[in-house]
Amino acid sequence: MSSDVSVELLSEHSCFGGRQQFRRHQSAVTGLPMRYALFLPPRPRALLVFLAGLTCSEETFTMKAGAQRLASELGLALLMPDTSPRGAAVPGESDSWDFGLAAGFYLDATQPPWATHWRMESYLLNELLPEVQAELGLDAARTGISGHSMGGHGALTLALRHPGRFAAVSAIAPICAPVDCPWGRKAFAGYLGPDESLWARHDASRLMRAQTQPPFAGGILVDQGLADIFLLEQLQPEALEAACVAVGQPLQLRRHAGYDHGYYFIASVIDEHLRHHAALL
């Protein structure tokens, strides 16, 4: 258990020789209590942050992906943050499933009424991650990031926006070009306002194109199901692929016939993501 008294252990479960914990702590950044899940293998030698998608919480990946068995074997601690602040009672926060609650998009909102609490980027980078890294004695060279859908967007953009903070990156069915898709446009308009020039700073494909040299020498792994109903309109992996080609960034983009957007797909490819990170961290 964390030695930090401000971290509350909500539950703990033995799991593949390690411990699956659910925790809550008070965030100064969001001004709210925040929940997260942490899987601790018997001998943690690296840390993988996994960001979940729209409608999810810290429980979703933890309970559905089946990542703990191999993570335990590889010595990977797994950190699963929540997908937005909760409990702020911002008017309209639960009006739609793709904006507000469980739809934080891993950025800091600048627009009222979101800007006060919806600060997931600063919360993750300046608060949660340093806290967990310090507890485990693991630095950035031993930290990777991955995610699914909105969380894949989060993994790619946070790694690109914060060079040196993550030594490995991967994503499963990520939103690759949010400036050009309905989910991204709705979120960015609401959280960042009407000036679209500011949106590009949170768009993985545009951020990649702006690189002067390939940022991830170890390569990026992306898996995408071809029976994913969100593929064409929302996810657009071809935009990330083209951006990586343009800057010489190695990208392994694997397209899987028959797989949809859900956790059966994630469970089917998660082992290779864990191995990707374990090899680089």
Ligand X SMILES: N[C@@H](CCC(=O)N[C@@H](CS)C(=O)NCC(=O)O)C(=O)O
Positions that interact with ligand X (CB under 6 A): 53-56, 60, 64, 97, 148-150, 261-263
Q: Of 118 and 263, which CB lies nearer to ligand X in the complex structure?
A: 263
Show the tokens assigned to 127: 């608060």
- Residue 228 among the catalytic residues: yes
Active site residue 261: yes
Cβ burial, residue 163 (10 Å; 0-12/13-18/19+): exposed
Smallest gap from residue 56 Cβ to ligand X (A): 5
- Catalytically annotated residue among 149, 153, 273, 276: 149
CB of 93 to ligand X, least distance (A): 16
**82 or 131: CB nearest ligand X:** 82
Set 84, 108, 228, 273: catalytic member: 228
Q: Across the beta sheet with 76-81, what order do the strands follow?
A: 7-15, 18-26, 33-40, 76-81, 46-51, 143-147, 168-172, 220-225, 251-256
For ligand X, give the closer residue by CB, 199 or 263: 263
Which tokens sit at 10?
Answer: 């909500």
Alpha-carbon distance of 99 to 110, in angstroms, equals 15
User: Min. distance of Cβ 145 from ligand X in angstroms?
Assistant: 17
Give the rounded distance of the alpha carbon of 190 from its chain centre. 20
CB of 136 to ligand X, least distance (A): 26
Nearer to ligand X, 133 or 157 (CB): 157
* Torsion angle defined by CA atoms of residues 82, 86, 91 and 92, in that order, rounded to the nearest 10 degrees: 30
Closest approach, Cβ 23 to ligand X, in A, equals 21
Cis bond leading into 178, ω under 30°? no
Q: Which of 202, 261, 276, 277 is catalytic?
A: 261
97 versus 163: smaller Cβ distance to ligand X: 97
Which residue bears the tokens 């810290």? 58
Among all residues, which ones are annotated catalytic?
149, 228, 261
